[in-house]
Amino acid sequence: MTVWDEGGAVPPGGGTAAEAAPAAEPTAAGAAAAGKAVEAAAGPGTGGPGSPLTRTRTLKLPFVAPVVRQWLGSRKLLFIGGRWQEPRSGRYLVVTDPATGEPLAEVAEAGEEDVDLAVKAARRALEGTWGKLPPAERGRLLWKLADLLEENAQEFAQLESLNTGKPVTETTMADVPLAVEHFRYFAGWATKWTGETLPASFPGEYLAYTRREPVGVVGAIVPWNFPLMIASWKLAPALATGNTVVLKPSELTPLTALRLAELVRQAGFPPGTVNVVPGYGEPAGRALVDHPGVDKISFTGSPGVGRKIMTAAARDFKRVTLELGGKSPNIVFPDADLDNAVAGAMMGIFFNQGEVCCAGSRLFVHKEHFDRIVQDIADRASRLRQGPGIHPMTQMGPLISRSHLERVLSYIERGREEGAELLVGGEPNSEAGPGYFVKPTVFVGRDDMTIAREEIFGPVLTVLPFESLDEVVRRANDTPYGLAAGIWTRDVAKAIKVAHRLKAGTVWINGYNLLDATSPWGGFKQSGIGREMGRYALEHYTEVKSVWVNLG
């Protein structure tokens, strides 16, 4: 019996990759056929009326909650002005299950007209009911939204897992709780973001003070790797400070954003406060960035798209926050707790299939323990259980799409061509299922190799030896990125000194992938502009106004 049979289960415990990973009846050829079936069902982004989709076999697994099956059974529309609306173009997206390559859901595809309607609805809400709400009421609505999300946590965790492929254990313990935390954290800020009285020295009697006002209509563009959590990073501070939002989720992973829109309406937000328009970067994303009615763009995604957004936003000087890519260093000093360092390195690169902007994809290990650590990581990587994310025993799921799988495999091949030593992985894993699975991959390489220079966005680790502190700091900083970094050592003073020298927006000491709503998130250099999370995020969603009052 395989995981794809009713009642099947991934074998618990360790063993080899073949023993631990769920076997599947379909072969690689079956995956290709499944992909063709998706294209035949709707074509790229066409969808629409016709015969019902043959839903992915994953939905037949006993782990899927009935409420999730039921919700996925109907076509999803655009959420504009507090109502569900058909797309003006009549086009629909077929959302694919990464574990099988088969259709998961059918979702309306927003075009330019739909984005225009959403922006206008957001503007009406800003200048109407939402803009007139007291801060305490904004906070109450955000708290209510957090409560509703928490009440439906299992449903959201399963939807996120099915749509992205990531393990449901991760969505249950991280994605959904962190989204809840963000809404609650910023709910509290709604009544605490203040201006100040200024000690003006201008001759005469004057009262000078500042006030914080919302930027206006925010276009929030979120990626496919953490759709719900990153949506909460943008929605919560924007709404707490009185803005309205047009949210464009990725065309690959729109499901939790649409389900969240239902909770927005249930919580009682005025129509138009939050609008959700799934669609492609072209035309929906471009229309949002170019729209004269949008005052700010908050984007998380690739540096290439970030550059295009900055260029477009410069035409009318839109405010911009960008959280982009990374090639983060993870440094293991010789005095580190080696077991913890290895576990941290595994978390740093294989969490979320390596589809993480801050993935610790460059592991610098001191030569004293290099061989031991490299072998330990390779052994552990070979035992990771792969399978559909919805399976509770899965430790690493599929990549998001066939095209992304091909991209990751091309980097692996490039590593081989440039002479990197492949220790484990390096190929698709057809035993895990018919979808977009790649085995966790570990290379020993050099700094000048492509796999050590460019963001791969997959479970591919390059391990690099070093000899001295100054050397490793210089090499760690030798990258156009600066999002995050990790340090492993028992010497606290050394750790702090190194942390201060690393050019990264976040540095973890004896840990990795640690996030909290209170802690700002963003990058140096080409990893972005501005900050998400924490009170620093609020600064990017408000304008400062100076007011002078003549008291004479």
Q: How far is CA 163 from CA 78, 145, 257, in A?
A: 18, 22, 11
Q: In what order do the strands lie in the sheet with 197-198?
A: 197-198, 206-214, 542-550
CB 224 within 8 A of CB 257: no
**Which residues partner with 320 through β-bridges?**
297
Encoded tokens for 23: 């076997």
Burial (Cβ within 10 Å: 0-12, 13-18, ≥19) of residue 467: exposed
Report how far residue 439's alpha carbon sits from residue 382's, in angstroms, rounded to the nearest whole number: 8
Report how far residue 371's alpha carbon sits from residue 365's, in angstroms, rounded to the nearest whole number: 9
* Helix axes 135-151 and 153-164, enclosed angle (nearest 10): 70
Q: Which amino acid is at 261?
A: A
Report how far residue 279's alpha carbon sits from residue 282's, in angstroms, rounded to the nearest whole number: 8
Report how far residue 530's alpha carbon sits from residue 549's, in angstroms, rounded to the nearest whole number: 33
Report how far residue 341's alpha carbon sits from residue 75's, in angstroms, rounded to the nearest whole number: 46
Sign, CA dihedral 338-344-346-348, equals: negative
Of the residues 109, 155, 323, 355, only one is catalytic, namely 323
Catalytic annotation present for 251: no
Q: How many C-beta neighbours within 10 Å does residue 384 have?
A: 20
* H-state helical runs in 393-491: 402-417, 450-453, 469-477
Picking from 258, 249, 284, 238, the residue whose alpha carbon sits closest to that of residue 88 is 284
Q: How far is CA 35 from CA 39, 430, 543, in A?
A: 6, 15, 47
Picking from 220, 190, 230, the residue whose alpha carbon sits closest to that of residue 321 is 220
516 contacts: CB under 8 Å, gap ≥ 6:
181, 533
CB 420 within 8 A of CB 451: yes
Picking from 516, 519, 514, the residue whose alpha carbon sits closest to that of residue 536 is 519
b/e burial code for range 478-489 (CB count within 10 A of at least 16 → b): ebebbbbbbbbb
Q: Which amino acid is at 367?
A: K
CB 405 within 8 A of CB 399: yes
Active-site residues: which are they? Answer: 323
